[in-house]
Structure 1
Amino acid sequence: MKLRNALAVTTTLAMTCGGAAWADGFKIGITQNNVGVDSYQTTYEKAFIEAAEANDNVDAVVLDAGGDVARQIAQMEDLIQQEVDAIIIWPTNGEAVIPAVRKAKKAGIPVIVTNSNIAEAGFPFVASFSGPDNITQGARSAEIMCDKFKEMGIENEARVVQISGQPGYTTAIERQKGFDDRLPEVCPNVDLVETQPGDWNREKSQKVMEAFLVKYDDIDGVYAGDDNMGVGALNAAKAAGREGIIFVGATNFSVGYEAMERGEYWGSIYQSPVDDAEAALQTAIDVLSGKDVPFLNYFDTPKITQDNMGDFTKPVF
Structure 2
Amino acid sequence: MKTALKVALACSTALIGTAAAAQDMTIGITQNNVGVDSYQTTYEQAFIAAAEANPDVEVVVLDAGGDVARQLAQIDDLIQQEVDAMIIWPTNGEAVIPAVRRASQADIPVVITNSNIAEAGFDFISAFSGPDNVTQGSRSAEIMCDRFKELGIEDEAKVVHITGQPGYTTAIERAQGFNDRLPEVCPNVEQIDEQPGDWNREKSQQVMEAFLVQYDDIDGVYSGDDNMGVGAMNAAIAADRVDGITFVGATNFAVGYDAMAEGTYWGSIYQSPVDDAEAALQTAIDVLNGEDVPFLNYFDTPKITQDNMDEFTKPVF
- TM over 0.5, shorter chain: yes
Percent of residue pairs identical: 78
CA distance in 2, matches of 1:245, 1:229: 15
Aligned to 2:257: 257
Instruction: For 1:66-85, list aligned pairs within 5 A.
Output: 66-85=65-84
- How far apart, CA to CA, are the structure 1 residues paired with 2:20 and 2:209? 60
Q: 2:214 aligned with 1:220, yes or no?
A: no
CA distance in 2, matches of 1:155, 1:22: 63
Shift of 1:53: 0.3
Give the aligned partner of residue 246 of structure 1. Answer: 246
Q: How does 1:48-197 map to 2 (within 5 A)?
A: 48-197=47-196
CA distance in 1, matches of 2:12, 2:210: 64
| Matched AA of 2:11 | C
Q: Partner residue of 2:266?
A: 266
CA RMSD, Structure 1 to Structure 2 (Å): 1.5
Q: Which runs of 5+ in 1 are unaligned?
A: none
Report what 1:39 is aligned to.
38
Runs of 4+ in 1 over 4 A off after TM superposition: 19-23
Partner of 1:16: 10
2:233 is matched with which residue? Answer: 234
Q: What CA deviation, in whole Å up to 9, does each residue of 1:107-165 have, x standing for no partner?
A: 00000000000000000101000000000000000000000000100000000000000
Over 3 Å counting, the alpha-carbon distance change for 1:82 and 1:178 in structure 2 is same
Separation in 1, partners of 2:170, 2:101: 21
Cα deviation for residue 14 of structure 1 reads 5.2
* Contact 2:7 2:52 (8 Å CA) reproduced: no
**Normalized against structure 1, the TM-score is what?**
0.96
TM-score, length-normalised on structure 2? 0.96
1:15 shift after superposition: 3.7
Deviation of the 1:9 alpha carbon? 6.7
Per-residue CA distance 1:82-113 (angstroms, 9 max, x = gap): 00000000000000000000110000000000
Q: By how many angstroms is 1:244 displaced?
A: 1.1
Q: Deviations over 1:16-64 (max 9, x none)?
A: 3327898811000000000000000000000000000000000000000
CA deviation string 1:199-222 (max 9, x = no partner): 000000000000000000000000
Instruction: Provide the residue aligned with 2:288 in structure 1.
Output: 288
Contact 1:117 1:170 in 2 (8 A): yes
Which residue number in structure 2 is paired with residue 279 of structure 1?
279
Is the 8 Å Cα contact of residues 14 and 21 (structure 1) preserved in structure 2? no
Aligned length: 311
